[in-house]
Amino acid sequence: MTTSHQFGGQWTDEKLDRLRKYLHAYRTIFTKNPRAAMLRTTFVDAFAGTGYRQSPKAASAQTLPLRLDDLPVYDDDATLFQQGSARIALETSPPFDHYLFIEQNPAYIAELEQLRQQFPAVAQRIEIVQGEANATLQDWCRRTNWRTNRAVVFLDPYGMEVEWATIEAIANTQAIDLWVLFPLGQAVNRVLTRSGPPQGGWSDRLTKFFGTADWKNAFYRPSSQMTLFDEEEQLEKGASFEQISAFFLQRLNLVFSKVADNPLYLRNRKNVPIYLFCFAAGNPKGAPTAIKIAQHILGN
Ligand SMILES: C[S@@+](CC[C@H](N)C(=O)[O-])C[C@H]1O[C@@H](n2cnc3c(N)ncnc32)[C@H](O)[C@@H]1O
């Protein structure tokens, strides 16, 4: 391990435990069912990291940076060097037919190449792509023959890096099960400023993220303020964590066959819901079983 990849906390374990259980259940079903066994299954980790995570004990980064892209997520109750999602996926038994790891950081790509060497039995099945997650995924969804392929996609960004166009491309395949980390308190709630809707770049970013400008009506309401001379109509934030979450789930429900109705709130030590871990199933035939399993695993 040469490159340090620092993020996480206890909530990270909660998230990755659910993913691990789902991957095992998914591959078990696809192996046992003779018709499903004819399909080629891929696990996609579009924000793959390094395959492990190192959590600093005393670090904290709780202020919103100007750019969300490189936001590190620290939580100081974490332990050092734990498994990351790529390693967890490679340990899945029965294994997937194919693994696609997408990561934009070249140093992390080098770590993923080392990880490949630790799994010789499936090394030939691993594809590592250095690239931007949205562009790479949208292209992959377009190029893949979904009559013979099925996949589980895991979207594990730091903040609002996932574009709605990517979620839509995934849903349109009708062949993918999606686990997505919604950056509830970590990003979205912080961008939705109390004094009125964000303008300019942040407004555009929210629209690209939700795939609609309706977030403004959903999260803000008119309120009258008395000024020195007059009464003024302003917009004030009226959305709770639950309402923001419900809005995202509604958006998922518009494009996926089924969406788990018990997503997992991942909270930091101060009990703030920093992320919502959501599941959506794309294949109309497989969705009822997939949702049943995911809801059981989410288990709250
Ligand atoms: C939260 S970490 C992923 C952790 C990983 N899933 C795990 O469990 O070990 C997010 C990763 O996404 C990468 N990343 C951020 N924005 C990206 C983008 N637009 N495209 C591809 N990778 C990105 C970061 O370099 C970082 O490694």
Cα(268) to centroid(ligand 1), Å: 19
How far apart are alpha carbons 65 and 210 in whole angstroms?
20
Is position 106 within any domain? Answer: yes
Lowest mean pLDDT among 10-19, 171-180, 246-255, 277-286: 10-19
267 pLDDT above the threshold of 70: yes
> Which helix (H) or strand (E) element contains residue 251?
helix 241-255
6 lines ligand 1 (CB under 6 A): no
Is residue 37 domain-resident? yes
Q: In terms of domains, do 127 and 262 share one?
A: yes
Is the Cα torsion angle 255, 154, 158, 299 positive or negative in sign?
Answer: positive
Residues 188 and 199 grouped into a single domain:
no
156 lines ligand 1 (CB under 6 A): yes
pLDDT digits (tens, 9 = 90+) for 110-150: 999 999 999 999 999 999 999 999 999 999 999 999 999 99
Pocket mutation for ligand 1, best pick of 85, 139, 158 (most atoms within 8 Å of C-beta): 158
212 and 94, same domain (yes or no): no
For residue 154, which atom of ligand 1 is closest to its CA? 6
Domain region containing 210: 194-238
Q: Binning pLDDT at 50, 70 and 90, where does residue 7 land? A: low
Quick one: which H or E segment has residue 136? helix 133-143
Report how far residue 155's alpha carbon sits from residue 242's, in angstroms, rounded to the nearest whole number: 21
Which ligand 1 atom is the nearest neighbour of the CA of 69? 16
Asked whether residue 50 is domain-assigned, the answer is yes
Q: Whose CA is nearest to atom 12 of ligand 1?
A: 47
C-alpha 41/C-alpha 26 separation (Å) is 9
Cβ of residue 172 lying under 6 Å from some atom of ligand 1: no
Q: Which atom of ligand 1 is nearest to the CA of 133?
A: 20
Does 55 lie in the same domain as 174?
Answer: yes
Domain tally, the chain: 2
For the CA of 84, the closest atom of ligand 1 is 9
Largest Cα span, the chain:
76
Q: Is residue 3 part of a domain?
A: no
Q: Is the CB of 47 under 6 A from ligand 1?
A: yes
Residue indicated by tokens 């991942």: 266
- Contact in structure between 209 and 160 (CB atoms under 8 Å): yes
Looking at every residue in the chain, the average pLDDT score rounds to 90
2 is a domain residue: no
- Could you tell me if 134 and 164 lie in one domain? yes
Ligand 1: centre distance to CA 96 (Å): 21
Residue-wise pLDDT tens digits, 57-72: 433 444 444 444 434 4
pTM for the model stands at 0.91
Specify whether 89 is located in the same domain as 234: no
Do residues 245 and 234 both lie within one domain? Answer: no
Looking at per-residue pLDDT, the higher value among 185 and 230 belongs to 185
Examine residue 210 and state whether it is found in any structural domain, yes or no: yes
* Tens digits of residue pLDDT in 70-117: 344 444 443 456 889 999 999 999 999 999 999 999 999 999 999 999
Q: How far, in Å, CA of 172 to CA of 191, rounded?
A: 29
- Is the Cβ atom of 83 under 6 angstroms away from ligand 1? no
CA 220 to chain centre: 25
Could you report the per-residue pLDDT of 213-260, keeping only the tens digit for each? 999 999 999 887 766 677 777 889 999 999 999 999 999 999 999 999
